[in-house]
Amino acid sequence: MARKTLHSKISDEYDFLLIGIVCQHKDYRLCHFLNKQLSIRLQRDADYEITKPKNKQKLSFAFYTYAPAEQPCYYLFANKTEGGILISDHKNMDYFLMIKDYQNRLEEESLIGTIKNSPLVLGAYSVQAGLLRSKENLVF
């Protein structure tokens, strides 16, 4: 009897650039800075909501999107909210910038450098989403 091998597409779900940002300012100030520096147009969207499996507590996180046709899609979201953290692996990160369909990985360091050079930002770091314990919170 032949064995059937199943392949998971889970790795495809985490094929994006993820940048953790340390910033003590409000989300709208960071959003304004990113729009200016990166020449994008992030706009406030409905909050991103998750339900914690242990206690069924609902958490809402500030969420911004910019999804132009046939170009990379940008998502800025808060990592912390009253009552919880979205990505517990990186408790020190205040925000994450996710870029889907980002083709130019060579410019990743330059992009992070641009974000780091803001007077608003205390730090910006590349994060490997596939290695996160709470990576299921990033599928939207």
pLDDT tens-digit series, residues 84-124: 899 888 899 999 999 987 766 668 888 999 999 889 999 99
Q: Is residue 134 part of a domain?
A: yes
Residue 5: pLDDT over 60: no
Higher pLDDT, 8 or 63: 63
In a domain, 2, yes or no: no
The answer as to whether 1 is a domain residue is no
55 domain-assigned: yes
Considering the domain boundaries, does residue 3 fall inside one? Answer: no
For residues 61 and 104, give the distance between their C-alpha atoms in angstroms, rounded to a whole number: 28
**Region of poorest pLDDT, from 38-47, 56-65, 94-103:** 94-103
Backbone angles phi, psi at 4, to 5 degrees: -105, 125
Instruction: Report if residue 97 sits inside a domain.
Output: yes
Q: Give me the number of domains the chain comprises.
A: 1
What φ, ψ does residue 13 adopt, rounded to 5°? -70, -20
Q: How far is CA 137 from CA 24, 65, 72, 74, 140, in A?
A: 22, 16, 20, 16, 8
- Is 19 inside a domain boundary? yes
Q: How far apart are CA 43 and CA 37, in angstroms?
A: 15
| Structural domain for 92, as ranges | 13-138
